[in-house]
């Protein structure tokens, strides 16, 4: 659930960047309006990194799922 929440929030912040000027003019408190485009994209990158970390530790946190080498190779592929 953490991985999905971070992924969705990261893409939502990226999507909100296109409305940053409107948000500032309208007094809305979106991340791009408050942090600027560059700051918002850094937050989005951090959320996507957290998503990747949450997925990467799943084999050790939930060994009963039997996530094998294919899962780990997919996680490495996502990182690249």
Structural domain of residue 9, as residue ranges? 2-79
Looking up residue 32, the CATH number of its domain turns out to be 1.20.120.1780
Q: Which of 59, 44, 60 is nearest to 6 (CA)?
A: 44
- pTM as predicted: 0.84
| Among candidate residues 31, 61, 39, 43, the one with its CA nearest the CA of residue 6 | 43
pLDDT tens per residue, range 26-78: 999 999 999 999 999 999 999 999 999 999 999 888 889 888 889 989 999 98
DSSP per position, 35-75: HHHHHHHHHHHHHHHHHHHHHHTHHHH-GGG---HHHHHHH
Total domains, the chain: 1
């Amino acid at each position: 659930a953490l991985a999905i929440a971070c992924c969705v929030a990261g893409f939502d912040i990226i999507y909100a960047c296109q409305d940053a000027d409107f948000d500032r003019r309208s007094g809305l408190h979106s991340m791009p309006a408050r942090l600027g485009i560059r700051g918002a994209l850094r937050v989005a990158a951090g959320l996507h990194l957290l998503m990747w970390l949450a997925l990467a530790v799943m084999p050790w946190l939930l060994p009963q799922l039997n996530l094998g080498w294919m899962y780990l190779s997919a996680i490495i592929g996502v990182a690249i």
